[in-house]
Amino acid sequence: MVARIARSLGALTIGVVTRPFGFEGRRRQSQAESGIENLRAEVDTLIVIPNDRLLSLSDRNISVIDAFRQADHVLLQGVSGITDLITTPGLINLDFADVRSVMHGAGTALMGIGSARGEDRAIEAAEKAISSPLLEAGIDGAHGVLLSVSGGSDLGLFEINEAARRVSDAAHPDANIIFGAVIDDTLGDEVRVTVIAAGFDGGELPARRIPAAAAAGRKAEEPSSPPPLRPAPKPVVEAPPAPAPSQQPRRIVFEDAEDELDIPDFLK
């Protein structure tokens, strides 16, 4: 209801939700899917984070409480990754129009988060973000990408450029990429990259065409196999002329004697 009213008033409406853990049961999963579908129709962009994928980011000894806390933290990062680009001063600031150009009417969106320290920390964080377990698909089919790079006061412009270029290379060639940099001294020497990819239009179709082409190639090879089978009947055709050499015994029979007419056993 809130999303419907907000959108009807012309406000940019973005939903950030999670899918329940598998251990929460099928009933809860079904209720969540129903809610997601209903919400999808009422917002400009919907970011869905599957909780089960958080398990790949966690230690096997993580408690249930910590697991839910981590899910909440990821939601916080998703929201702050968008709002901080507008509200927090940084090296590269964005305005609301920039965010709206990517998120307005974008439909389903994916979010990836990566962080790194040390040498090449920015590009390493970008690599982790675009290959994050939170991403249910690659970002190569996204026509809109929102990129947020956060770091301390020592965050360099060239670092931001490297991270942005890596994300740009992974996105759709015609993607509208909006990126900004936020200064957060609480991160210390850590660089954090948040990627929100939206505007998908069937990016998985090319992958499905590959096996189809391969199957067509196999079918094309099958007709080539019959030709070697066609020469096979040739020896069978040559078999009937075989009696031709058998005429020699007949001639010999007529030349020698009439008793030898019974010699060619193969004629019986």
259 secondary structure, DSSP code: G
Domain 2-206 has CATH 3.30.1330.20: yes
Cα dihedral across residues 20, 26, 31, 37: positive or negative: positive
pLDDT digits (tens, 9 = 90+) for 46-55: 888 888 887 7
**CA 76/CA 83 separation, integer angstroms:** 10
pLDDT digits (tens, 9 = 90+) for 126-173: 999 898 877 777 788 788 898 889 899 888 888 888 999 999 988 888
Beta strands in 117-243 (DSSP E): 142-151, 176-183, 191-200
- For residue 104, what pLDDT is reported? 85
pLDDT digits (tens, 9 = 90+) for 9-66: 888 888 888 888 888 889 998 998 999 999 888 898 888 888 888 777 777 788 878 8
Short-list 57, 61, 66, CA closest to 129: 57
Would the pTM of this model clear 0.75, i.e. be above it? no
Query: Is the separation of the CB atoms in 113 and 146 below 8 Å?
Result: no
pLDDT digits (tens, 9 = 90+) for 216-237: 344 444 444 444 444 444 444 4
Average predicted confidence (pLDDT) for the chain: 74
Residues near 20 by beta carbon (within 8 Å), at least 6 away in sequence: 28, 29, 32, 51
At 125, the pLDDT band (50, 70, 90 cuts) reads very high
**CA 182/CA 47 separation, integer angstroms:** 22
Start and end residues for every CATH 3.30.1330.20 domain found in the chain: 2-206
**CA 2/CA 5 separation, integer angstroms:** 5
